[in-house]
Amino acid sequence: MNKLFIIGNGFDLAHGSKTRYEDFLLWYLKPAALRASENGCFEDDILSISQGDTSPLLYENWVNQSASVRELISMLEKKGYKLNPKSNLFGKILDDGVYRWVDIENTYYQELKLILKRYGADETPNELIDLNNTLDSLRDKLVKYLQENYSEITLDVESSSFYTILSQVDAYEGDISDVEEGGFVQPLVESNSLFVNFNYTPLVQQYFNEIPNTLFRFDLIQIHGSIENPESIVFGFGDELDDVYHEMERKNNNDYFKHIKSFKYFQDENYQKLMSFVDSDNFEVIVLGHSLGLSDRTMLAQIFEHENLEQVQLYYYGDKEQNDFTEKTYEISRHFSDKGRMRLKVVNFQDSKPMPQVELEESI
C-alpha cells in the first residue's frame, strides 16, 4: 500500500525551528517598536507606530523580554505608544491574537467575503486592493524572515524518530522477478511513498536524501514552494467548496482570485504529481504537523475523499494529549462529506502516537 505523508509546520517545530507565525510577527514588531522609540515614529506599508506626548524611550531589554505579541503590544500601549495597522487584515491579526498560519489565511478569506458582500464583485474597491497588498507584503516579509532566521539543521537523520516514521514501507507483494538491483524494472506506480511538504523550509529534504530509493521509491513535493525559490511561494486560501467562492466565480472580477491557492498550483507540476500518486493505487495518509484547516480544503478533500484512501494516521502534539488529536478530528471532518466513511478511515486515538520532539543544534 502506498503512503502519502502530509507534512506541516508542526514537523519543523518538533525540530526546534522558530517557524511559528508568532515568531515571525515578533521579528517584525520588535525592531519596529525600537525604531518608533528612537525616531519618534515607525511607518511602513502595513503599520505605523507613533509616540504619545509622554512616551519614554524604549530599552531594548523591555522589548526583547516580550515573549508574545500580546505582551509586546500591551507593553507598548502602557508606555503611551499607538499602533495603527493600515488594513483591516493586519488590524484583526494583531487585535484578535490570530497567530497560527491557518488562522491568518482564514482571516484573509473572511475579509475577502466581507468585501464581496459590501461591494459586489463587479468593481474593485480600495479595500480589496489594500487587502491583497497586505497579504503580498506579509508574504514578502515572511520569506525574508525565513531566509534570515532558518538555519540548516545538523542532525543524525538515521537516529531520528522521524526517520523511522518517514522511511516506513510495506513488504513488497509482487513477483520478485519484477525487481532488479537498483529498483523496479517497470514501477507499478510513480512512487511508493510521497512526501507532500506544506512548509517553505527544506528540513524534510534531509530525511528524503537519506532514505534509499531501492526496492521502494520515495518522492518529495514542495507543494507551497520554497524559500530557496521565493517566486514559487504559495500563500493564500484554498477552499473552492465554499458557497461564497462560487459567488465570486459568477462575477466578472479576477481580483478576488489573486490569493486563491488553486491558481498558484498551475505554476508547476506538483499538484498534478500529487493527484497522479493518489490515482495510482491504494494509499494511507500519515499527517505530521499539519493543522488540516480550511485554507487547504480543496486539496485535502480530494485526498481524503478519494476512493483509493485506505486510512488516515494522525500524529498529535504532546504526550498523551488527546485535545490536539481531537482538534485534528474536528478539522478533518470538514474534508469528508461522508462522515461514516470518515469514522472508518481515521485511526482512533488509542492506536495513534504523539509527534516526536527532536533536540537539535543549528549549524553556524
Return the H-helix or E-strand segment holding 361: strand 361-362
pLDDT band at 174 (very low <50, low <70, confident <90, very high): low
What integer pLDDT is reported at residue 347 of this predicted model?
Answer: 97
Phi and psi at 337, nearest 5°, equal -80, -30
E-strand stretches of 67-171: 82-85, 153-154
- The whole-model pTM stands at 0.89
CA-CA distance, 223 to 166, in Å (whole number)?
17
Q: What is the DSSP string of 250-299?
A: HSS-GGGGTTBHHHHGGGSSHHHHHHHHHHHS-EEEEEES----GGGHHH
What's the pLDDT score for residue 363? 43
Q: Is the pLDDT of residue 143 over 60?
A: yes
Task: Please write the tens of the pLDDT for every residue from 101-115.
Answer: 777 888 999 999 999
Mean pLDDT of 279-305: 94
Residue 9 Cα to chain centre, angstroms: 6
| Encoded amino acid at 47, one letter | L
User: pLDDT band for position 219 (50/70/90)?
Assistant: very high
- How many whole angstroms separate alpha carbon 133 and alpha carbon 273? 31
Residue 353 half-sphere exposure toward CB, CA atoms < 13 A: 9
Q: What is the pLDDT of residues 183-198, one digit of tens each?
A: 444 444 445 899 999 9
Average predicted confidence (pLDDT) for the chain: 88
Burial tier of 190 (Cβ tally within 10 Å: 0-12, 13-18, 19+)? middle
The DSSP H or E segment spanning 209 is helix 203-210
Rounded-to-integer distance, Cα 226 and Cα 205, Å: 11
Q: In sequence order, which residues have a C-beta less than 8 Å from that of residue 262 and are 6 or more positions away? A: 238, 240, 298
Say if residues 182 and 214 touch (Cβ distance below 8 Å): yes
Closest CA relative to residue 227, chosen from 160, 152, 279, 168: 152
The cell for 115 is: 468585501
